[in-house]
Amino acid sequence: MTMVTTEIHDTSAREAGTAEPLAPLRRAARLEAQLGDPYDPANPHGLGALFAADEQRHPPEATEQLLTEFGLSAEFVPAEFGGRLTRADHLAKVLRPVFRRDLALGFGYGITSLFATSAVWAAGTPAQRRFTADMMLGGGRASIVHHEMAHANDILRDEFTAGAAPGGGYELNGRKDVIINAARAQAYVVYARTDPARTPYSHSVLLVDPAETAGIGHLPRVPTTGMRGNLFSGLEFTDCAVPGSALVGRPGEGVALALRTYQVNRCVIASTAVAAVDTVLHSAVRAATTGRSRPLARRWHKPLAGVFADMLACDSMATVALRALSLLPDRTHVLAAAVKYVVPDLLREDLEELATVLGSRGYQRGTPEYGALDKLSRDLPVAGLGHAGTASCQAVIVPQLRTLAERAWFREEEPPAELFRTGASLPVLDYRLLGIADGGDFLAASLVESAARLAEVRGVGGQLAFLADLAEGFVGELRALRERCRAIPAHGSAASLMDPALCVLSDRYALVLAAASVLGTWEGQDGSDPFLAAPAWAVLALARLGGRLGIPVPDLPDGCMEQVLEELMRRYRSGRSCDLDATELAQ
């Protein structure tokens, strides 16, 4: 393990020192090559081997060892502490080769360590950060120990308590039955109740070293319907003496830390989920083209091109939010919730569309060519991309709608252009700068300005005119939302979060932000990718988003669907990913 750690320190220092923007792409390409051809039956890291491990309900040991030797855990450690983490959008790029093969592997091997340690990077002491960095760089794992899944991600439930110990420090008690990697983590980040009053200041965060803490009981492994190879088990704390030095941040700061740091988690999850669906899209294209007399039957044009456009829209939204975490860290809270709200929903709908293309092949469990749909459909809900995740995101968005309507929409200036430019330099991600909702909405402002610029070229006709009309339609939706959100009671109760009418408003608002991301990403192209610089994909993506909102969308202009489909087929034949990067895949 020492050799791995030394290599990580040397590489991260070199790459962080030069701020080389291509370094993450090179690391992603290196990892993609090392993981090898996913369809090769002899590849120990291929889909066949990963699906077999899932069937046998154990982690894919050979591939986990490869990731350890690659030093993947260093991607979750900020560069200032010897790791490779400089920007959240770069992190997502490096993780995609893993998630493209197996979402469960991405979670089980390490991304949950990022979720756990984020509180330490945001508010930990120098000693806590050093301990955590050394543990991670040595190939260790951290587990986050907080609320029960049945509580819809409500951190104010009191499974864990940390009372004042007689001799100083804390006495930790509580139990949770389902924690990923509980049995093999070298650190626990525990969100525990430290004040009996039910206020936003009732919980604190403790960094617990299990090797130095008595009274920790390990509960049996819990089988799950999805992510079956991951090790879920429980922990029980019984009068655990934890020193005062274990406190992360200030007493009572647990909820605030969760709200600040979860925005990184939400955006990274959404971005990597795009890579997981990418594999299913490739499977669907294979099913639609293999053994056919024609290259592609016409009935598959719409679902395949539509899902491809959706994936580009999802990638646009996730990438904009990931970049905003560096560029506008105190203003990304609501957008991050909207990303985690919209992207999983769109991707789930896309899986349903792809199922119609795959037909019976989609139920061929465990086969490398077609088994990704079955596995991903089971894994996504367990990964937290289901109802509970939606509820937690609504809890962030709904309370902000009235404030946004009154103070931000049609008043704020658009964000810097660097937000949408792939090659632009951005500040390093600093968890300490992440803020909670400030009442602003830079992405809605971007939508308004994008629509205004497009209106000036409407006379060109064709796809640009169509795009201009769609953009204006979303601006009209934002105006309607402003009027409806201004009528929300100023001081609603917690029960208002369950009001279906408010949930509908949050739905519509989140889709408007998705449209703004598509337009901003399209405008931000530098021309190096002719397909992304052309309007066809943005037209199709916005038309599908508009259809979900009920915005009138006329028939697509001639050639639009065909251009998107042609690009999809080109990427499939040349072995490239179906995201914004069009990454070369191992074959």
Q: Which tens digits make up the pLDDT trace of 77-120? A: 999 999 999 999 999 999 999 999 999 999 999 899 999 999 99
Q: Does position 388 have pLDDT exceeding 70, yes or no? A: no
Q: What is the pLDDT of residue 159?
A: 76
Task: Say what the pLDDT of residue 521 is.
Answer: 98
CA distance 512 to 480: 11
pLDDT for position 85? 96
Beta bridge partners of 188: 143, 208
Structure tokens at 166: 């007689």
High-pLDDT (> 90) share of the chain, %: 82
Which among 120, 170, 182 is positioned nearest to 145, based on CA atoms? 182
pLDDT at 497: 61
Q: What is the signed CA dihedral for 510, 511, 512, 514, rounded to 10 degrees?
A: 90
| CA distance linking residue 309 with residue 262, whole number of Å | 27
Q: What angle do CA 555, 560, 563 make, to 5 degrees?
A: 155
For a pLDDT cut of 70, what percent of the chain falls above it? 91
Q: Where in the sequence of the chain do the CATH 1.10.540.10 domains occur?
A: 2-141
Q: What is the pLDDT of residues 195-206, one digit of tens each?
A: 999 888 999 999
Q: How far apart are the first and last CA of the chain?
A: 30
Q: What average pLDDT does range 552-562 have in this prediction?
A: 92
CB 110 within 8 A of CB 72: yes
Looking up tokens 């208002």 gives 496
Under DSSP, is residue 242 helix (H, G, I), strand (E, B) or coil?
Answer: strand
pLDDT at position 385 is: 59
What CATH number does the domain located at 2-141 have? 1.10.540.10
pLDDT at 7 (0 to 100): 40
Average pLDDT value over all residues in the chain: 91
**316-362 pLDDT, tens per residue?**
999 999 999 999 999 999 999 999 999 999 999 999 999 999 998 98
Q: Contact, 176 vs 185, CB < 8 A?
A: no
pLDDT at 6 over 50: no
Asked whether 385 and 106 are in contact (CB, 8 A), the reply is no
Give 66-78 pLDDT, tens digit per residue. Answer: 999 999 999 999 9
- Nearest of 160, 132, 156 to residue 145 by alpha carbon: 160
* Angle, CA 437 vertex, CA 436 and CA 438 arms, to 5°: 110
User: Measured between alpha carbons, how far is 499 from 92 in angstroms, rounded to an integer?
Assistant: 34
**Cα dihedral 307, 309, 311, 315 in deg (nearest 10):** -170
Query: How far apart are alpha carbons 275 and 102 in whole angstroms?
Result: 9
What single-letter amino acid sits at 552?
Answer: P
Mean pLDDT, range 555-575, rounded to an integer: 95
Predicted pLDDT at 20: 56
Decide: 105 and 46 in contact? Cβ < 8 Å. Answer: no
Say if domain 144-251 classifies as CATH 2.40.110.10: yes
Label residue 9 by pLDDT band (50, 70, 90). very low
Q: Please report how the helices 254-289 and 333-358 are oriented relative to each other, as an axis angle in degrees rounded to 10.
A: 20
pLDDT band at 8 (very low <50, low <70, confident <90, very high): very low
Please give the pLDDT value at position 17.
35
Other C-beta atoms lying within 10 Å of the C-beta of residue 400: 21
pLDDT category at 412 given cuts 50, 70, 90 is: very high
User: How much is the pLDDT for 13?
Assistant: 37
Whether the pLDDT of residue 295 is over 90: the answer is no
Helices (H) and strands (E) in the chain, counts: 20, 8
**Whether residue 292 has pLDDT greater than 80:** no
Are the C-beta atoms of 433 and 329 separated by less than 8 Å? yes
Q: Model pTM?
A: 0.93
Q: What pLDDT does residue 55 have?
A: 95
CATH 2.40.110.10 positions along the chain are: 144-251
Please give the residue that has the higher pLDDT: either 429 or 154. Answer: 429
Over residues 489-493, the mean pLDDT reads: 66
